[in-house]
């Protein structure tokens, strides 16, 4: 949002993304995509259900839009994805064929009733997996809005990922090694970024492909 142009700004409501890692839908509609000129008009189109997030109508103007969320506006046939950048979250245009796909990072795994494996994803989604080959740090390409797993992307040597936070945020890297420590030190990813070898914390690294990105992550 331009500085000193508005007295009040809507804050993201509690939801699938943390407050300081998301953008309220009203701000996305008015200030980023510039679909309307005023907050009142933004609320109107949002309350009508004209904007979809991950394939679902979101009618709350303060709904938090976060990392890798897919924004669809069927009326004008426009589709976008939220990606990391050096300046924070960036909204980039994507082709329609990608509007029903979302990549999610596996933050945790739990065993639920009848011994089924449940994947806990970075955006608050929980899905059941058919087998136990999935590991934390891996990513899954989901079909929207069904949440069916289309592809499993392991965090392994040779995989392609993107840095989500920190000084290298938004940069693409190729995984060279995953360094797991036995002490309190966090797991680190050794990767090649722009021709240089860098260390990135596992929690800041999102795998997005095995040999190339499965989704559009830049303008």
| Single residue among 115, 130, 153 that ends a domain in this structure | 153
Both 44 and 64 in one domain: the answer is: yes
Residue 118 has pLDDT above 90, yes or no: yes
CA dist., res. 129 & res. 51, Å (int): 29
CB 217, CB 172: distance < 8 Å: yes
Domain count, the chain: 3
pLDDT at position 207, please? 96
Is 165 a residue whose pLDDT tops 60? yes
Q: What are phi and psi of 82, to 5 degrees?
A: -90, 125
33 lies in some domain:
yes
pLDDT band at 196 (very low <50, low <70, confident <90, very high): very high
Least confident of 23-32, 87-96, 145-154, 177-186: 177-186
Structure confidence at residue 68 as a pLDDT band (50, 70, 90): very high
Token pair of 137 as six digits:
């740090």
Q: Which two tokens stand for residue 32?
A: 């980023």
3-state helix, strand, coil in the chain (%, to 5): 15, 40, 45
Name the average pLDDT for the chain.
91
DSSP string, 141-171: EEETTTTEEEEEE---TT-EEEE-SSTTTT-
Nearest Cα neighbor of 148 from 109, 111, 100, 185 is: 100
pLDDT tens per residue across span 128-158: 987 778 999 999 999 999 999 999 999 999 9
Rounded average pLDDT over 172-177:
95
Residues 121 and 183 in one domain: no
pLDDT in tens, 8-36: 678 888 888 888 889 999 999 999 999 99
Find out whether 61 and 46 touch, Cβ atoms under 8 Å: yes
CATH of the domain at 38: 3.10.290.10
Tell me the percentage of the chain whose pLDDT exceeds 90.
78
Residues 48 and 109 in one domain: no
Query: Could you tell me the residue range of the domain that residue 188 belongs to?
Result: 160-209
The predicted pLDDT at position 11 comes to: 83
Dump pLDDT digits (tens) for 34-57.
999 999 999 999 999 999 999 999
Residue 168 within a domain: yes
Let me know if residue 11 belongs to a domain: no
Q: Is 59 found in the same domain as 109?
A: no
Residues with Cβ within 8 Å of 175's Cβ and at least 6 positions away in sequence, in order, are: 155, 156, 157, 158, 159, 160, 161, 189, 190, 191, 207
Q: Model confidence at 2, in pLDDT bands (50, 70, 90)?
A: low
Answer whether residue 60 is part of any domain.
Answer: yes
Secondary element (H or E) of residue 41: helix 39-47
**Spatial separation of the C-alpha atoms in residues 199 and 2, rounded to whole Å:** 34
Q: Which residues pair with 14 in a beta bridge?
A: none
pLDDT at 145: 94
Q: For residues 187 and 169, give the distance between their C-alpha atoms in angstroms, rounded to a whole number.
A: 18
């Amino acid at each position: 949002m331009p500085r000193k142009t508005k007295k009040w700004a809507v804050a993201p409501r509690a939801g699938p993304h943390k407050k300081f890692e998301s953008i309220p839908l009203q701000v996305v509609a008015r200030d980023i995509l510039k679909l309307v000129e005023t907050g009142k008009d933004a609320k109107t189109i949002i309350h009508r259900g004209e904007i979809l997030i991950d394939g679902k109508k979101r009618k709350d103007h303060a709904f938090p839009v976060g990392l890798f969320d897919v924004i669809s506006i069927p009326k004008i046939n426009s589709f976008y994805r939220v990606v990391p950048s050096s300046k924070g979250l960036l909204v980039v245009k994507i082709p329609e064929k990608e509007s029903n796909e979302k990549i999610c990072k596996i933050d945790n795994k739990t065993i639920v009733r009848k011994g089924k494996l449940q994947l806990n994803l970075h955006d608050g989604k929980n899905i059941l997996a058919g087998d136990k080959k999935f590991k934390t740090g891996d990513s899954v390409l989901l079909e929207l809005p069904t949440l069916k797993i289309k592809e499993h992307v392991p965090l392994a040597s040779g995989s392609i990922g993107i840095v989500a936070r920190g000084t290298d945020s938004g940069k693409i890297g190729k995984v060279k090694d995953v360094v797991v420590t036995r002490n309190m030190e966090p797991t680190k990813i050794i990767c090649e970024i722009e021709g240089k070898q860098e260390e990135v914390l596992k929690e800041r690294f999102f795998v997005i492909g095995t040999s190339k990105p499965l989704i559009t992550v830049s303008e």
